[in-house]
Structure 1
Amino acid sequence: MALNQRLDLRQGQSLVMTPQLQQAIKLLQMSNLELQAYVDQELERNPLLERDERAEIQKPAEAPESQPDMVAALASTSAAEDRLRTLDTELENVYTHESRADAASREAAVPPPDSGWSSLRPQGALSLDAEGLDFDATLTRQPTLAEHLTDQMHLLLTGPADQLIGQHLIGSLNEAGYLIADIPAMAEALGTSAAHVEAVLAMLQSCDPPGVFARDLRECLTLQLKERDRFDPAMAALVAHLDLVAKRDYAALRTICRVDLEDLKDMVAELRALDPKPGHAFGSDPVQPVIPDVLVRPSPEGAWVVELNTDTLPRVLINNQYLARVSATAQRSEDKVYLSECQANASWLVKSLDQRAKTILKVAREIVRQQDAFLLLGIQHLRPLNLRTVADAIEMHESTVSRVTSNKYMATPRGIFELKYFFTTAIASADGEGDAHSAEAVRHRIRELIAAEGQDVLSDDTIVDRLKASGIDIARRTVAKYRESLGIPSSVQRRREARVQAAQ
């Protein structure tokens, strides 16, 4: 078969991921904190963008008197406007995968804004700003674990060599307060003996908090018990067999520790009252409160009101007045091109943020519609839900729904939940005809069965039978997996605890 060359002309559609489209996709999966940081960077980079500090957005009738000059300036940047309309259409295509013809017709049907200001803030939204109060400004910094120990080291160690070793030991602690360095290797690096390092370590182990500088859990608990003067032979034997404590094998522990059941119970309670990670009390970062992106509340008519939390939406404006003034004095072509790019990027950012807000609201409303029984009756009525169900209902792609539900939270009358919490796998019904059950609802049912078992401890097989009797078809290994995820011990361990309680 001979090889030859020929020229063919083919027509097709493809989606080109421009930098602007990649930016819009990244905005979808950002949390509110990440979005605020990103918008702050854009405000520094683009001179036409500014933050909206006003309490209310001006209406078009209240536009400045210099608006005709602005319109004249904007007319000189028609190329940027054409580019913006094209990017806006492509953005719609990314979210919904609809045809370009449909997107273009919808874009043509929307009249261009004739106001001097372009705003992200939705109409009719209420501001929840607390008079400009900054939560971060009210935070105080806690001393770190290293700073806390360094202050004590200067009181315990007087010699320069000892203080040098002590500083190296402090620097070798992890966040929990455990020593992770190798003593012989440290001694060789510092040019001293391992006994010298061990002697300094023994002095530092008396520092506050008790248990710091331990090399494992047993040593950490031992240091705390010695500080309380409670490290007797019976307690030493108990600490040496922490594996039996974890298994709740009280019969073997009574033999090893040579104490009766009541004393063993007191010793285990005292052991559990100790802090296994003493270093976590120092130097932790301030806990950032979860700020919901969506607010859900019941309406007087019996439906649910789903709205965006405007506190999480960056309010960004395009200063067209400044653009008009600068465009009127721009002479060089480079300056005009720069202003055109700044205007297009600013408009694109505002439209992307607005589209992001609308998409989040659309997904949240569909989730509330699907999980209406959960909001009304509780977790037992949480329906199995996947991304495809929501995507098909709102005519969007699954990847878009996945990005929207990442790092987003919803405040409901039952608490604040991450949007991904409402997406759970389905457990089939026992008869194969009823509605499927949510995995989260099944976990809740398993927790209820075990909490009500009393002295009659339920095995995993018994739990499977009871779930099947209530219409839930589930395997024993799945019950074991759900039980372990809830932090519930096995039936053998629970039976041991029941015997101990019955013997008291």
Structure 2
Amino acid sequence: MGLGPRLDLRQSQSLVMTPQLQQAIKLLALSNLEIEGFIAEELERNPLLESAGPDEGGSEPRDLADTRDADARDPDSFDPLEPATADQLIAGGDAAADAPLDVDYAAETFHHDGPTDSIGDSIAAGDGPGLDGGLRLDGAGGGGSFEEGAGFEATLASEISLHDHLLAQAGAALAGTDLAIAAQLIDQIDEAGYLTGDCMDVAQRLRVPLARVERVLATIQTFEPTGVGARTLAECLTLQAREADRCDPAMARLLANLDLLARGALPQLRRLCGVDEEDMADMIRELRDYDPKPGLRYGSARVQAVTPDLFVARTRAGWAIELNSATLPRLLVNRSYHAELAAGIAGGAAGKEGKAWLGECLASANWLVKALDQRARTIMKVATEIVKQQEAFFLHGVAHLKPLTLKTVADAIGMHESTVSRVTSNKYLSCERGFYELKYFFTSGIQSSDGGDAASAEAVKSHIKALIAAEGDAILSDDKLVELLNARGFDIARRTVAKYREAIGLGSSVQRRRQRVLGRAA
């Protein structure tokens, strides 16, 4: 076989992810607030884009070309996982019809900021909750029964962190080397207020005597909040008892034997402390008033409000589902400005480069507007199917939540499972029952003992929580919970009950019995 250069022709097929298609897929996973930041960057980069603002957009996702060429394309023809859609999105149109001036701002289906702007008109018109509980699956966004008011962000005070609070007190109480030692110690105090480091390490690092570090730590333990800087729970409670002038010998022995208190060994504790039942009850009641995690009174980081991406409300016609347009500005393509720029471009090589750049800006603007519109349509389609599948939850609560998978929703709406996964990521839904992430509605199932429909794991957890809350003095073991759940139609194993019980933060029967004994003693 001879070695040498030669030319060969080969034919192959491969899936090419264009940059626009990759960006379209990325847009699906972003929340409305993240989309708002993305749009702000595009507005700075592309001179042909302009924001109409949330007050000028409709409540329903609407293609800007619908008023111009409603029959020219199928609004559901775009699937983010199909390569051909990038070319469909680039297809242009006349943006003169993008912002019609004859909009009825008082229309029931038109809301300026969100689902609350026309509530008054809806109530006046008698649009109360629906009586039939049916679904309106056309994707229209009706008004929801949500109260207008200041955002949650307005209620968040500017909180100082525990670290800054302790440093401020150290600066007022210490100076020089002691202040440097205090700074090192404060850096090792966690958000609960406990010292996680070792005094010996601090002493070796700063080359100071260990006794001096211990003395500075004792000063820190006098700071607010009381109990901060402790190394153990017993030390934290002891500091608080001293502050309350309640650290007598009996209380000191009780704090030194918290393990016995946790086990409910009250007779042994009474003998160690040398007190009777009444005094022991007073001491336990005193301990309950102390804070085992004093540092949590101060925020380690500012609380961030989560804004809903969707609103769901029940109306006479069924379920009204609406995108939160208050956090999603409406983009427009300024074609008049494009015409001005095109007219001002001179000829020659520089003119060709200018026209090419202007053409890229126009194509990018057209694609982004339509990609955002299709993103909204996809979210609405997925949310509508979720509401349809989980209608019993919206009507009756978590006990009626059904098991649901991404594949079930994907098959129902004719999309890929990965598309549904991206759509439900970082998206939140607000309804009359509360505030939920879209992922919440996808849960595993527990088979029915009578051969009926499977039940959601969240529904089983709610039943376990209700049974334990109503158990009274007869503490229910996990075996007894299995029997009661089987009687309610859930075919569930004991280890599953234990797993679900621990997931919702409930202790075992032994732990609950000890808590009951301690509660009666206090």
Distance change in 2, residues 1:133/1:428 (3 Å): closer
Instruction: Establish whether residue 278 from structure 1 lines up as the match of residue 294 from structure 2.
Output: yes
Question: Any gaps of 5 or more consecutive residues in structure 2?
Answer: 59-71, 118-147
Instruction: Establish whether residue 443 from structure 1 lines up as the match of residue 443 from structure 2.
Output: no
Output the amino acid matched with 2:365.
A
Superposed counterparts of 1:140-155, under 5 Å = 141-155=158-172
Contact 1:374 1:381 in 2 (8 A): yes
Q: What residue in structure 2 maps to residue 316 of structure 1? A: 331
Report the secondary structure of 2:322's partner residue. strand
Match of 1:474 among 456, 471, 492: 492
Report the secondary structure of 1:488's partner residue. coil
How far did 1:165 drift? 2.3
Output the amino acid matched with 1:47.
P
How far did 1:224 drift? 1.8
CA deviation vs aligned residue, 1:169-202 (integer Å, no higher than 9, x gap): 3333333333333322322332321111211221
Whole-angstrom CA distance in 2 between matches of 1:274 and 1:502: 18
Contact 2:32 2:327 in 1 (8 A): yes
Whole-angstrom CA distance in 2 between matches of 1:391 and 1:164: 59
Distance change in 2, residues 1:357/1:161 (3 Å): same
Q: What residue in structure 1 maps to residue 320 of structure 2? A: 305
Report the secondary structure of 1:417's partner residue. strand
Distance change in 2, residues 1:138/1:447 (3 Å): closer
How far did 1:253 drift? 3.8
Contact 1:117 1:319 in 2 (8 A): no
Contact 1:21 1:91 in 2 (8 A): no
Q: What residue in structure 1 maps to residue 379 of structure 2? A: 360
Superposed counterparts of 1:17-416, under 5 Å = 17-53=17-53, 55-56=55-56, 92-95=78-81, 113-116=93-96, 118=98, 125-128=110-113, 141-157=158-174, 159-301=175-317, 303-331=318-346, 332=350, 333-416=352-435
Report the secondary structure of 1:363's partner residue. helix
How far did 1:408 drift? 1.0
Instruction: Establish whether residue 489 from structure 1 lines up as the match of residue 507 from structure 2.
Output: yes
CA deviation vs aligned residue, 1:32-57 (integer Å, no higher than 9, x gap): 22222222222222222222237436
Contact 1:21 1:90 in 2 (8 A): no
How far did 1:111 drift? 9.4
Report the secondary structure of 1:298's partner residue. strand
Q: What residue in structure 2 maps to residue 78 of structure 1? A: none
Output the amino acid matched with 2:78.
E
Distance change in 2, residues 1:53/1:293 (3 Å): closer
Report the secondary structure of 1:306's partner residue. strand
How far did 1:135 drift? 7.5
Distance change in 2, residues 1:397/1:216 (3 Å): same
Q: What residue in structure 2 maps to residue 69 of structure 1? A: none
Whole-angstrom CA distance in 2 between matches of 1:148 and 1:308: 41
Contact 2:55 2:113 in 1 (8 A): no
Report the secondary structure of 2:305's partner residue. coil
Contact 1:248 1:493 in 2 (8 A): no
How far did 1:318 drift? 2.3
Output the amino acid matched with 2:185.
L
Q: What residue in structure 1 maps to residue 136 of structure 2? A: none
How far did 1:429 drift? 0.9
Whole-angstrom CA distance in 2 between matches of 1:266 and 1:219: 20
How far did 1:118 drift? 4.8
Moved more, 315-324 or 351-360: 315-324
Output the amino acid matched with 2:197.
A
Question: Any gaps of 5 or more consecutive residues in structure 1?
Answer: 59-84
Output the amino acid matched with 1:307.
E
Report the secondary structure of 1:192's partner residue. coil
Whole-angstrom CA distance in 1 between matches of 2:2 and 2:231: 76
Distance change in 2, residues 1:219/1:114 (3 Å): same
Whole-angstrom CA distance in 2 between matches of 1:138 and 1:319: 38
Moved more, 410-419 or 487-496: 487-496
How far did 1:367 drift? 0.7
Contact 2:264 2:518 in 1 (8 A): no
Output the amino acid matched with 1:33.
L
Whole-angstrom CA distance in 2 between matches of 1:161 and 1:338: 62
CA deviation vs aligned residue, 1:247-306 (integer Å, no higher than 9, x gap): 4454554444444444434433432332233233335444333321111111124x2111
Normalised TM-score (structure 1): 0.81
Contact 2:95 2:333 in 1 (8 A): no
Distance change in 2, residues 1:503/1:211 (3 Å): closer
The percentage of aligned residue pairs carrying the same residue is: 52
Distance change in 2, residues 1:200/1:480 (3 Å): same
Relative to total residues, which structure has the larger helix share, 1 or 2?
Answer: 1
CA deviation vs aligned residue, 1:115-157 (integer Å, no higher than 9, x gap): 33657xx995411279999986886533333432333223322
Output the amino acid matched with 1:92.
F
How far did 1:456 drift? 1.8
Output the amino acid matched with 1:144.
S
Report the secondary structure of 2:332's partner residue. strand
Distance change in 2, residues 1:185/1:386 (3 Å): same
How far did 1:92 drift? 2.5
CA deviation vs aligned residue, 1:94-116 (integer Å, no higher than 9, x gap): 34x5x95xx79x959x9964233
Q: What residue in structure 2 maps to residue 417 of structure 1? A: 436
Q: What residue in structure 2 maps to residue 455 of structure 1? A: 473
Moved more, 274-283 or 205-214: 274-283
CA deviation vs aligned residue, 1:315-364 (integer Å, no higher than 9, x gap): 22222222222222223222222222222222222222111111111111
How far did 1:368 drift? 0.6
Q: What residue in structure 2 maps to residue 16 of structure 1? A: 16
CA deviation vs aligned residue, 1:397-423 (integer Å, no higher than 9, x gap): 111111111111111121111111111
Report the secondary structure of 1:481's partner residue. helix
Q: What residue in structure 2 maps to residue 61 of structure 1? A: none
Report the secondary structure of 1:43's partner residue. helix
